Structure 1
């Protein structure tokens, strides 16, 4: 039952952001950037009685992912503004995101 509730609530959040973004892309982007997924995930962990140390570790890992994710977004925007097709811009940015995530993990950040 808990898995079904997670799927429904999570799908509703993504759908709401998409619907808002169609009418108001700036507001939709801002909402998408909110820590909705990370906080919702932490809430699910609390609901499943995970220890605070596990939730803390999860949230620290979210923090570690912010730099590569910000880089990905900057690259996609830059490539799109240079006329790249979306698939190419996203694909290249994902590769760089993966490489930067790997490097940051290897150096202990």
Structure 2
């Protein structure tokens, strides 16, 4: 039952953000950039009884993934502005995301 609640709350949030973005792309983008997924995940983990150490490791993982996510969004935005189709833009973004994660791992181990 808790899984269904988590899915429903998450889906409702995504739906609301999408509707806001439809009416105001800038406002929708700002709201979408909020760490809602991360904060929700922290709440769900806590409510499920995960240890503070486990939750801390999750938060550190979010921080580790942040630069790669910024690269992905930047690539998608530049590609779309350059008239690439969304699917191609997303593919390039995902490749940039993966490349950034590999680079981070190579530099920081």
TM-score by length of 1: 0.94
How many residues were matched structurally?
Answer: 109
Q: Deviations over 1:56-83 (max 9, x none)?
A: 1000100111101111111111111122
Give the deviation of 1:26 after TM superposition. Answer: 0.8
Q: Deviations over 1:20-77 (max 9, x none)?
A: 1111111111110001000000000000010000001000100111101111111111
Indicate the RMSD between aligned Cα atoms, in angstroms.
1.2
Q: Which residue of 2 aligns with 1:102?
A: 102
Give the deviation of 1:87 after TM superposition. Answer: 1.1
Q: Does 1:51 align with 2:51?
A: yes
Q: Which runs of 5+ in 2 are unaligned?
A: none
Q: Moved runs in structure 1, 4+ residues, more than 4 A? A: none
Give the deviation of 1:101 after TM superposition. Answer: 1.0
Structure 1 segment 14-25 matched on structure 2, within 5 A: 14-25=14-25
Distance 2:106 2:6 in 1: 33
